[in-house]
Amino acid sequence: MEKGEASLRSRLYDPVAIHAAGSFLEDAMQRFWLNFLRLFFRLLYNEFAWSYDLVAWLVSLGRWKAWGRTALHHCRGTQVLELGHGPGHLLVTLRKRGYDPVGVDLSVNMGRRARRRLDSAGLSVPLVRARAQTLPFRDEYFDTVVATFPTEFVIDHRTLREVTRTLRADGRLVVALGARFEGEGLIASFLTWLYRVTGQAAPCPSAFEPSLREVGLSPRAVCERVGQTTILLVVAEKD
């Protein structure tokens, strides 16, 4: 056997090399899947924002708006900042219930959709296109900062520092982290699986706790029932 051939064979049949090749493939697949998901959600919040409500309706079996409204049970005061307002359903409800909400979202298309929704309801709510990580508001302005089903911007330390800065001394952050299907049916099992593989499963609220405490927020986990689903929320008071 030629020297080069022997070394090739030993590389091909060496269990360590096979394992390394396997994990390389696994890593590559995982990277591909993560990049695909990133692209999918970027498109859903931007170019395909028009399809967001339909997608949200389908993956919640029609309960998306009711899921978001669970956050309202924990809002206090009147000045409420909604981070990542999306198509603006919660802003409409907040305004109708007498709050003075302000909406922030990074997506121009979501801003347009929310504006249209508010206009057609005859409601006036300031909408700001900004990153949650750099909020263009003065210190200690809001009674409540709320975010429903936010993307990872909500666990970014810069966002949490901005939340603490813009909250009043006795203000609070309310985050609807995600939903769990309690039923055993085929659709509930499918959606649970779908949420898991797309990284949308509700994170454990306790995983969020150290980051919140670090910026001076004292969190507690809250569960709310909506039909056969449970919404996991975190309510964090400014220390």
Ligand X SMILES: C[S@@+](CC[C@H](N)C(=O)[O-])C[C@H]1O[C@@H](n2cnc3c(N)ncnc32)[C@H](O)[C@@H]1O
Task: Give residues in contact with ligand X (CB under 6 A).
Answer: 45, 56, 68, 83-86, 104-107, 110, 131-133, 148-151, 153
In the complex with ligand X, the residue whose CB is nearer, 178 or 205, is 178
Q: Pick the closer one to ligand X by CB: 21 or 153.
A: 153
Closest of 231, 80, 223 to residue 149, by C-alpha: 231
CB of 236 to ligand X, least distance (A): 17
Smallest separation (angstroms) from ligand X to the CB of 49: 8
Residue with tokens 């004292």: 218
Residue closer to ligand X (CB basis): 79 or 107: 107
Quick one: how many helices (H) and strands (E) in the chain? 9, 7
User: Whose Cβ is closer to ligand X: residue 68's or residue 205's?
Assistant: 68
DSSP, residue by residue, 114-180: HHHHHHHTT----EEE--TTS--S-TT-EEEEEEES--GGGG-HHHHHHHHHHEEEEEEEEEEEEEE
Minimum distance from residue 20 beta carbon to ligand X (Å) = 36
Residue type, 182: E
| Structural element, H or E, at residue 8 | helix 3-13
Closest approach of ligand X to the CB of residue 125, in Å = 14
